[in-house]
């Protein structure tokens, strides 16, 4: 039904992601959302850090940049500021974006620079074999939390809003049509947009928490059974929302976009002192 | 040179003006004494001239932003000091393997750690070469005057654009903060080099292909689509673990510089040909060494100064030529013997006399001369 | 770029043509599990999806939507009347 070949570097397939990994689902969702924007491929830059999700740029036919762990947004800021006409999309895992990349994440939000960041949030460091990350659920086992994760997890949407992002949404790798919509809206939004995509890594996360996640299918079903749209969530108590995934568009507001503001300053001089 | 512009300015400002002269259009930086003035100058100059300045959240982000901007075709720069330079190391390696031209200015100060933020030192000479992991090319220029802060920054941009690699400019707090009269070159007086880019559009299949030894001709983002990564990659730009290709590419990014030394080498020789006492020194320490050479020559002692402006790669052939002749090699430097380790590699250790100072004060000519009193010349 | 053609097994009924690319299918079972009419099943030997019960297929496209690997897609047929 959808022809992906226009956007794929087909010679690079099959991709490296494990059977049942959510990343392929989210990548396809991004490609469908990009297709709806009608943007020129030469004008699109896909930037990533390091990790499983960060291998995505290698598979897609745009200007693609695979940077260092956590630094995608720093590179992306440089690209967007230097060439504002480019559409800059950052793909980053939960560890890449929120742990080592956390400082760049909050400052990119604060600047409200027109970049869309898609957080591939599977709550684990997959590439390095399954260590817990800032979004690993409480109590989950991992190769570095064999006694159960003791650290509380981040709410990516709340951090983004608190830091100044002007578009925030959360979707899951199960609710694919909604995800297409959130990503497309994020791409079209002028300002810093964040889509927190809850998805699953069975290979390094599911398998070591067999009771909770017996199979990759169950991990998808977990998303299906625990996702609650915002409107409904508003009517539920804190207790009832525990462990639930609240999906939807949380924030969509206008605030001066960083590169536009900068361009006004430049334009004010181009006429004047050279 | 009538009509040419003379200015009495700070070294840091001369550095920023040199960058502007070279066509720098993007600066990403973070405040740190003693280099902040460069960022301050750029924060006004660039937006007034169609360029972009951004103060990032830390030095890692600063280097990340200028590598990103460079990939769109801009000539980009950051400036920092020791602590920030340490934070930038990982991405310096990234710029080396991805072959992205950027200029990184390090105005050195007392180290280690916070050290002496407002005092001079030459504490990062070896870090400049070995600071980041892996075998990678290093080009590091060391100005020793306000004028050279201008001209060496211009040269840094030219070398970065030609070799498609990061180029370091190692100033120090003295050179950065002192003021001197300098002549600003007229536009066009110094040749400005711009990177060569392929003119095709659409997909660029072999961005990292290069005919033997020459730097690769890599497009800019927006011109034609290709992939950039910090993973070892082949000439298509995509990751590879093929041992033969990895070895060849790792060697190529070094060879592209070390096989064209005539382009990158630059040093100054002061009376080295017949020198019994040869001094090896760079940056602000070399100013004192030059004075010491004059004083010794006046006393009838054959002294000379060999001053690399391109510290890395080190101009060893010429240095060895003079070092073998000399009885003694004095190495004045504001650290505990970094340049000395380079001298030791190329001459008999017994001849080498280090003159080290790490108390935050500049080395004086008298201090250097005092060392020669015990030498039987 | 570097157009690479993948072997395609084609299944067909009155509603659609369904294509499976065994070289790309990793046997993750997602399409099989979430097919609303159980038209898909796992080829035990090659551990890849097959559409042995193609006659059940209602061309909803969920398999294509959920597949992480571009390994399955359909081409809907226009209903007879149009």
pLDDT truncated to tens, each residue of chain B (377 aa)?
456 799 999 999 999 999 999 999 999 999 999 999 999 999 999 999 999 999 999 999 999 999 999 999 999 999 999 999 999 999 999 999 999 999 999 999 999 999 999 999 999 999 999 999 999 999 999 999 999 999 999 999 999 999 999 999 999 999 999 999 999 999 999 999 999 998 777 788 899 998 777 888 899 999 889 999 999 999 999 999 999 999 999 999 999 999 999 999 999 999 999 999 999 999 999 999 999 999 999 999 999 999 999 999 999 999 999 999 999 999 999 999 999 999 999 999 999 999 999 999 999 999 999 999 888 77
- Assign residue A12 the CATH number of its domain: 3.40.50.970
Question: Rounded distance, CA B14 to CA B24, Å?
Answer: 14
Question: Rounded distance, CA B19 to CA B101, Å?
Answer: 13
Q: How many domains does chain A have?
A: 1
Q: Kindly list the residues from chain A whose CB atom is less than 8 angstroms away from the CB atom of residue C73.
A: 1-2
> In the prediction, which pLDDT does C3 show?
66
> Residues A249, A168: contact at Cβ < 8 Å?
yes
> Residues B67, B93: contact at Cβ < 8 Å?
no
Q: Kindly list the residues from chain B whose CB atom is less than 8 angstroms away from the CB atom of residue A81.
A: 26, 52, 54, 65, 69
Q: Is B200 on the interface with A (CB under 8 A)?
A: no
Question: Rounded distance, CA B267 to CA A274, Å?
Answer: 36
Q: How many CB atoms lie within 10 A of CB A147?
A: 7
Q: Kindly list the residues from chain C whose CB atom is less than 8 angstroms away from the CB atom of residue A14.
A: 23-24, 26, 69
If you average pLDDT over every residue of chain A, what do you get?
A: 96
> In the prediction, which pLDDT does B3 show?
62
Q: Kindly list the residues from chain A whose CB atom is less than 8 angstroms away from the CB atom of residue C1.
A: 9-11, 61
Record: contact A63-B67, CB cut-off 8 A: no
Record: contact B26-A274, CB cut-off 8 A: no
Record: contact A19-C1, CB cut-off 8 A: no
Reading across the β-sheet that carries A44-48, which strands appear in turn? Answer: A227-229, A245-252, A167-172, A193-198, A115-121, A87-93, A44-48, A63-66, B227-229
Mean pLDDT for A223-230 is 98
> Residues C69, A14: contact at Cβ < 8 Å?
yes
Q: Give chain C's radius of gyration (CA, Å).
A: 13
Q: Kindly list the residues from chain C whose CB atom is less than 8 angstroms away from the CB atom of residue A10.
A: 1-4
Record: contact B61-A62, CB cut-off 8 A: no
- Give the Å distances, CA to CA, from B238 to A191, B188, B227, C46: 31, 39, 6, 30
Maximum distance among all alpha carbons in chain A? 69
Residue B22 C-alpha, separation from nearest chain A C-alpha, in angstroms: 16
Segment (H or E) for B106: strand B102-110
Return the residue matching tokens 């030609």. B162
The whole model's pTM is what?
0.97
SS3 sequence of chain A:
CCCCCCCECHHHCCCCCCCCCCHHHHHHHHHHHHHHHCCCHHHEEEEECCCCHHHHHHHECCEEEECCCCCHHHHHHHHHHHCCCCEEEEEEEHHHHHHCCHHHHHHHHHHCCCEEEEEEECCCECCCCCECCCCCCCCCCCCCCCCCCCCCCCCHHHHHHHHCCCEEEEEECCCHHHHHHHHHHHHHCCCCEEEEEECCCHHHHHHHHCCCCCCHHHHHHHHHHHEEEHHHHHCCCCCCCCCCEEEEEEEECCCCCHHHHHHHHHHHHHCCCC
Q: Is B206 on the interface with A (CB under 8 A)?
A: no
Structural tokens at position B122: 């030459």
> In the prediction, which pLDDT does A271 show?
60
Q: Give chain A's radius of gyration (CA, Å).
A: 19
Domains defined for chain B, CATH in brackets: 5-184 (3.40.50.970), 268-370 (3.40.50.920)
Looking at B173-276, list the stretches that DSSP marks H as alpha helix, in order from N- to C-terminal side: 173-177, 243-258, 261-264
Mean pLDDT for A258-263 is 97
- Window 8-47 of B: residues touching A by CB (8 A cutoff) are 25-26, 28, 47
**Using 50, 70 and 90 to split pLDDT, how confident is the model at C47?**
confident
Bridge-based pairing state of the strands B303-308 and B267-270? antiparallel
Interface partners of chain A (CB pairs < 8 Å, 3 or more) are: B, C
DSSP letter at C53? T
Q: Is B241 on the interface with A (CB under 8 A)?
A: no
Residues 6 or more apart whose CB falls under 8 angstroms from that of A222 comprise A200, A212, A213
Q: Is B371 on the interface with A (CB under 8 A)?
A: no
Q: Kindly list the residues from chain C whose CB atom is less than 8 angstroms away from the CB atom of residue A9.
A: 1-2
Bridge-based pairing state of the strands B277-280 and B303-308? parallel
Question: Rounded distance, CA B44 to CA A265, Å?
Answer: 11
> Residues A15, A59: contact at Cβ < 8 Å?
yes
- Nearest residue on chain A to B228, judged by CA atoms? A65
Q: Give chain B's radius of gyration (CA, Å).
A: 21
Question: Rounded distance, CA A196 to CA A94, Å?
Answer: 9
> In the prediction, which pLDDT does B370 show?
96
Q: Across-strand partners of A245?
A: A227
> In the prediction, which pLDDT does C82 show?
55
> In the prediction, which pLDDT does B2 show?
54
First to last CA, chain C: 37
CA dihedral B242, B243, B244, B246 (to 10 degrees): 80
Position A273 pLDDT exceeds 50: no
Q: Is A82 on the interface with B (CB under 8 A)?
A: yes
> In the prediction, which pLDDT does A272 show?
47
Record: contact B76-A82, CB cut-off 8 A: yes
Position A274 pLDDT exceeds 60: no
**Using 50, 70 and 90 to split pLDDT, how confident is the model at A6?**
very high
State whether residue C57 is helix, strand or coil.
coil
Instruction: Report the residue of B69, B221, B240 to disrupt the A interface, i.e. the one with the largest count of A CBs within 10 Å.
Output: B221
- Nearest residue on chain C to A173, judged by CA atoms? C66
Give the CA count within 13 Å in the CB-facing half-sphere of A235.
4
Q: Across-strand partners of B6?
A: B183
DSSP string for B23-44: T--EEEE---TTTHHHHHHHHH
> Residues A163, A92: contact at Cβ < 8 Å?
no
A-B CB pairs within 8 A amount to 131
Question: Rounded distance, CA A137 to CA A132, Å?
Answer: 9
| ipTM field | 0.96
- Nearest residue on chain A to B26, judged by CA atoms? A82
Torsion sign, CA atoms B197, B201, B204, B205: negative
Question: Rounded distance, CA A81 to CA A166, Å?
Answer: 18
DSSP letter at C55? G
Out of B48, B52, B201, whose CB is closest to A81? B52
> Residues B95, B76: contact at Cβ < 8 Å?
no
Residue A245 C-alpha, separation from nearest chain C C-alpha, in angstroms: 19
Position C79 pLDDT exceeds 70: yes
Q: Kindly list the residues from chain A whose CB atom is less than 8 angstroms away from the CB atom of residue B89.
A: none
Instruction: Report the residue of B55, B67, B68, B203 to disrupt the A interface, i.e. the one with the largest count of A CBs within 10 Å.
Output: B68
Out of C1, C26, C76, whose CB is closest to A19? C26
**Per-residue pLDDT reduced to its tens digit, A38-89:** 999 999 999 999 999 999 999 999 999 999 999 999 999 999 999 999 999 9
Q: How many residues does chain A have?
A: 274
- Nearest residue on chain A to B47, judged by CA atoms? A266
Give the CA count within 13 Å in the CB-facing half-sphere of A146.
1
> In the prediction, which pLDDT does A35 show?
98
Question: Rounded distance, CA A89 to CA A86, Å?
Answer: 10
Question: Rounded distance, CA B297 to CA B304, Å?
Answer: 9
Domain region containing A202 = 4-270
State whether residue B365 is helix, strand or coil.
helix
First to last CA, chain B: 43
Question: Rounded distance, CA A146 to CA A142, Å?
Answer: 6
Out of A58, A68, A83, whose CB is closest to B72? A83
> In the prediction, which pLDDT does C1 show?
42
Residue B158 C-alpha, separation from nearest chain A C-alpha, in angstroms: 20
Q: Kindly list the residues from chain B whose CB atom is less than 8 angstroms away from the CB atom of residue A66.
A: 227-231
**Per-residue pLDDT reduced to its tens digit, A95-141:** 999 999 999 999 999 999 999 999 999 999 999 999 999 999 999 99
Record: contact A58-B72, CB cut-off 8 A: no
Q: Which residues of B221-248 are buried (b: 16+ CB within 10 A; e: fewer)?
A: bbbbbbbbbbebbbbbbbbbeeeeebee
- Give the Å distances, CA to CA, from B164 to A81, A242, B99, B257: 21, 52, 5, 10
């Amino acid at each position: 039904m959808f022809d992906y070949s226009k956007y794929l570097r087909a010679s690079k397939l099959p991709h490296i992601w494990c059977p049942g990994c959510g990343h392929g689902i989210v990548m396809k969702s991004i490609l469908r959302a990009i297709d709806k924007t009608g943007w020129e491929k030469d004008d699109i830059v896909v930037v990533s850090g390091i990790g499983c999700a960060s291998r995505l740029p290698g598979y897609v036919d745009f200007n693609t940049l695979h940077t260092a762990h956590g630094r995608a947004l720093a590179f992306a800021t440089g690209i967007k500021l230097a060439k504002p006409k480019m559409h800059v999309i950052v793909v980053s895992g939960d560890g890449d974006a929120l742990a080592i990349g956390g400082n760049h994440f909050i400052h990119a939000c604060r600047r409200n620079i027109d970049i869309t960041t898609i957080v591939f949030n599977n709550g684990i460091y997959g590439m390095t074999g399954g260590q817990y990350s800032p979004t690993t659920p409480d109590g989950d086992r991992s190769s570095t939390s064999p006694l159960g994760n003791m650290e509380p997890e981040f709410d990516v949407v709340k951090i983004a809003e608190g830091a100044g992002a002007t578009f925030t949404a959360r979707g899951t790798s199960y609710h694919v049509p909604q995800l297409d919509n959130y990503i497309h809206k994020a791409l079209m939004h002028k300002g810093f947009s964040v889509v927190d995509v809850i998805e699953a890594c069975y290979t390094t996360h599911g398998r070591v928490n067999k009771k909770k996640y017996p199979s990759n299918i169950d991990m998808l079903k977990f998303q299906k059974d625990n996702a609650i749209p915002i409107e409904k969530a508003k009517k539920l108590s804190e207790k009832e929302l525990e462990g639930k995934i609240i999906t939807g568009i949380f924030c969509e507001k206008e605030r001066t976009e960083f590169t536009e503001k900068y361009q006004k300053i430049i334009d004010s001089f181009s006429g004047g002192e050279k | 040179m009538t009509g040419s512009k003379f200015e009495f300015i700070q070294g840091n400002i001369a550095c920023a003006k040199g960058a502007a002269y070279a066509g720098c259009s993007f600066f990403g930086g973070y405040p740190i004494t003693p280099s902040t003035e460069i960022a301050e100058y750029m924060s006004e100059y660039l937006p007034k001239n169609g360029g972009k300045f951004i103060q990032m959240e830390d030095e890692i982000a600063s280097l990340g932003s200028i590598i990103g901007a460079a990939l769109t075709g801009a000539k980009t720069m950051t400036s920092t000091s020791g602590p920030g330079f340490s934070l930038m190391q990982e991405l310096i390696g990234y710029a080396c393997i991805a072959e992205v031209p950027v200029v990184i200015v390090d105005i050195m100060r007392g180290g280690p750690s916070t050290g002496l933020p407002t005092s001079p030192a030459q504490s990062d000479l070896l870090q400049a070469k070995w600071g980041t992991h892996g075998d990678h090319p290093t080009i590091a220029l060391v100005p020793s005057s306000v004028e050279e802060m201008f001209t060496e920054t211009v040269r840094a941009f030219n070398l970065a654009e030609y070799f498609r690699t990061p180029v370091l400019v190692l100033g120090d707090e003295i050179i950065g903060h002192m003021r001197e009269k300098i002549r600003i070159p007229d536009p066009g007086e110094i040749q400005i080099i711009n990177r060569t880019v392929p003119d095709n559009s659409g997909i660029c299949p072999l961005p990292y292909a290069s005919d033997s030894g020459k730097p690769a001709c890599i497009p800019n983002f927006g011109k034609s689509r290709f992939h950039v990564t910090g993973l070892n990659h082949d000439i298509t730009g995509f990751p590879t673990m093929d041992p033969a290709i990895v070895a060849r590419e790792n060697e190529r990014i070094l060879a592209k510089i070390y096989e064209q030394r005539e382009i990158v080498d630059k040093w100054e020789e002061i009376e080295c040909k017949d020198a019994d006492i040869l001094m090896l020194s760079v940056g602000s320490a070399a100013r004192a060494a030059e004075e010491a050479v004059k004083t010794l020559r006046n006393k009838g002692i054959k002294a000379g100064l060999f001053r690399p402006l391109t510290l890395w790669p080190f101009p060893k052939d010429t240095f060895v030529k003079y070092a073998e002749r000399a009885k003694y090699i004095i190495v004045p430097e504001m650290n505990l013997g970094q340049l000395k380790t380079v001298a030791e590699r190329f001459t008999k250790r017994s001849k080498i006399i280090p003159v080290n100072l790490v108390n935050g004060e500049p080395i004086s000519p008298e201090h250097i001369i005092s060392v020669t009193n015990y030498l039987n010349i | 770029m570097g157009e690479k053609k993948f072997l395609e097994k084609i299944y067909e009924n009155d509603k659609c043509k369904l294509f499976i690319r065994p070289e790309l299918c990793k046997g993750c079972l997602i399409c099989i599990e979430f097919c609303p009419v159980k038209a898909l099943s796992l080829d035990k030997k090659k551990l890849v999806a097959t559409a042995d019960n193609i006659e059940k297929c209602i061309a909803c496209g969920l398999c294509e939507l959920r597949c992480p690997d571009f390994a399955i897609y359909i081409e809907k047929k226009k209903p007879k009347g149009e």
